[in-house]
Amino acid sequence: MTAVVVRRLAALSGASAVALGAYGAHGFKHSDPDDYQRVLFETANKYHFYHSLALLGAAHSSKPAVVSELFKKLIRRLFEIWLLALVGLQRMASSKSFVFAQKKK
């Protein structure tokens, strides 16, 4: 994709993040501030903004191919770390020596 297309995509993504944020702010106006759905919506909207800014930064990158390769390597490493952590937790939970905190009767 060319920089112009990515810039337009970032603008549309940012505009939709603002629109959805306004919708959520007014839609959840009368709900409890500790409501899980409200917190979840706010977190999703925040990440939507962050990704819109990342798209805008990618459009202005002078060497998008280099940045793209670095991001691919970073994402691959993060996925490997996450996968190893997940497998390690599953093995630890399934071993008989691992004891979860239990309620005392």
Evaluated on CA atoms 57, 58, 59, 60, the torsion sign reads positive
In the structure encoding, which two tokens stand for residue 57, read together? 């930064």
As a 3-state breakdown, the chain gives helix, strand, coil percent values, each rounded to 5, of 75, 0, 25
pLDDT digit string, tens, across residues 13-50: 889 999 988 888 888 777 777 778 888 888 888 988 98
Are the beta carbons of 9 and 55 closer than 8 angstroms?
yes
Q: How far, in Å, CA of 4 to CA of 22, rounded?
A: 27
Task: Residue 14: give the domain boundaries.
Answer: 1-60
Q: What pLDDT, on a 0 to 100 scale, did the predictor assign at position 29? A: 79
Q: Examine the domain organization and report whether 14 and 46 are in the same domain.
A: yes
Q: Is the residue at 103 inside a domain?
A: no
Q: How many distinct structural domains can be found in the chain? A: 2
Q: Examine the domain organization and report whether 21 and 6 are in the same domain.
A: yes
pTM strictly above 0.95: no
Q: Is the residue at 105 inside a domain?
A: no
DSSP single-letter state for residue 103: -
Q: Examine the domain organization and report whether 88 and 55 are in the same domain.
A: no
- At 101, the pLDDT band (50, 70, 90 cuts) reads low
The residue type found at 27 is: G
- At 8, the pLDDT band (50, 70, 90 cuts) reads confident
Q: Is the residue at 48 inside a domain?
A: yes
Q: Examine the domain organization and report whether 66 and 92 are in the same domain.
A: yes
Q: Does residue 74 have a pLDDT over 70?
A: yes
